[in-house]
Amino acid sequence: MTEMVFGSVPARAGEPILPRWWRTIDRWALGAVIALFGLGLLLGLAASVPLAEKNGLDPFYYVSRQAVFGATAIVAMMITSMMSPDMVRRLGVLGFLGAFVALMFLPFLGTDFGKGAVRWYSLGFASFQPSEFLKPGYVILTAWLMAAAQEINGPPGRLYSFVLTLVIVLLLAMQPDFGQACLVLFAWGVMYFVGGAPFLLLTVVAGMVVAGGLTAYNASEHFARRIDGFLSSEIDPRTQIGYATNAIQEGGIFGVGVGEGTVKWSLPDAHTDFIIAVAAEEYGLIMVLMIITLYAFITVRSLFRLMRERDPFIRLAGTGLACAFGVQALINMGVAVRLLPAKGMTLPFVSYGGSSVIASGIAVGMLLAFTRSRPQGRISDIIGRRGR
């Protein structure tokens, strides 16, 4: 009925899946994602070798594993991007349910690997972090609830999404993982704002976040220690932030040279949370700006393509995925330059880690599926017709 009223762009009948996917996919964003993964492997060659030697492993052990994780992520991204929005929604809801159950049992069956936060399941040959897989499914489910609330006689989807968000934030805070909790809250706020939420309500939610932060500061020694370190006027050179800050300063514009950096020998998380410090030291500001540009390009280009979309669910879900992707990268790099407190958050597609890379592949695959060109016309076409 909608197409009869507003018209449509004719589809090519009988066109095979792969040619149709290649014709409709955002090839520029796809290329930027693959470039990020390539840069991640390049930086992994420098950042992970010291850790492999320290653990008595082959020098390229972690790089080889990252290549396997990345290949799996790219395949997952390609397959997901070929799905229809309805299929993506089903995948997202089912994935959310599985990750949510895993998150609930994490305090009882999970491990912290000596890092002070129970965030992983140890599988022996690898580890699994439920929160990484929870995020894309959460965004899909929340967008579905909010879109349903816009329908006539629809359910109170905004209220349901808010309650769901509070439950997830509470589970993440129990680990504790305040970085992921903030990212979930941010994604909900962005989607709520795009869905037409009143500014006063968002202000109230922001106040609740501040109150929650104060409560966490007083109740969690882990959280308080990181905040105190961030607010301190002096940087302890023996901390991760101290090593990372010094490495960024030493790198300058062009870096100290490939393989000549020293921070990778001092930082235990040089190949994960602080890999941008390795990039800044060895390749300089040029490499950092290149990485920032790729993240910004993917995020902004996706948002512009979503502006033309007239399906509320696709607009909300795509916006949530794009903003969560960009803000996670911003948080990771902000921590390295001491603009934000340490949060233990990876750099999508660049940092080492199977859960992070594969979950990022699924999330970006969903985003690429939503930003594909479909035979439905653009929202600007509707506005133009109504104005005549």
Quick: pLDDT tens for 188-206. Answer: 999 998 888 777 777 877 7
Contact 155, 110 (CB under 8 A): no
In a domain, residue 52? The reply is yes
Record the tokens describing residue 43, joined without a space: 């930086």
CA 207 and chain centroid, separation = 24
In a domain, residue 1? The reply is no
Mean pLDDT value of segment 281-285? 92
Q: How far is 179 from 164, CA to CA, in rounded Å?
A: 18
Which helix (H) or strand (E) segment holds residue 242: the answer is helix 240-251
Q: State which of 215-219, 342-346, 373-377 shows the largest mean pLDDT.
A: 342-346
pLDDT-derived band of residue 295, with 50, 70 and 90 as boundaries?
A: very high
E strands, 72-135, in order: 121-122, 127-128
Q: How far is 252 from 235, CA to CA, in rounded Å?
A: 19
Contact 382, 13 (CB under 8 A): no
Please report which residue ranges of 195-311 form alpha helices under DSSP H: 199-219, 221-231, 240-251, 275-306
Percent of the chain past pLDDT 70, that is, above it, reads: 88
Record the tokens describing residue 247, joined without a space: 């490495």
In a domain, residue 2? The reply is no
pTM for this prediction: 0.88
Record the tokens describing residue 20, joined without a space: 């149709």
pLDDT-derived band of residue 96, with 50, 70 and 90 as boundaries?
A: very high
In a domain, residue 46? The reply is yes
Mean pLDDT value of segment 24-28? 94
In a domain, residue 4? The reply is no
pLDDT at 4 over 60: no
pLDDT at 3 over 50: no
In a domain, residue 31? The reply is yes
Number of structural domains in the chain:
1
Mean pLDDT value of segment 218-224? 69
pLDDT-derived band of residue 222, with 50, 70 and 90 as boundaries?
A: low
Give the end-to-end CA distance of the chain in Å, rounded to a whole number.
Answer: 21
Mean pLDDT value of segment 376-384? 51
Handedness of CA 10, 13, 17, 23 (dihedral sign): negative
In eight-state DSSP terms, residue 153 is: T
pLDDT-derived band of residue 142, with 50, 70 and 90 as boundaries?
A: very high
Q: How far is 185 from 166, CA to CA, in rounded Å?
A: 8
Q: What is the pLDDT of residue 212?
A: 73
Give the domain range for residue 187: 15-383
In a domain, residue 289? The reply is yes
Q: Nearest-CA neighbor of 146 among 165, 130, 169?
A: 165
Handedness of CA 103, 353, 82, 300 (dihedral sign): positive
pLDDT-derived band of residue 2, with 50, 70 and 90 as boundaries?
A: very low
Total number of residues shown for the chain: 388
In a domain, residue 388? The reply is no
Contact 316, 195 (CB under 8 A): yes
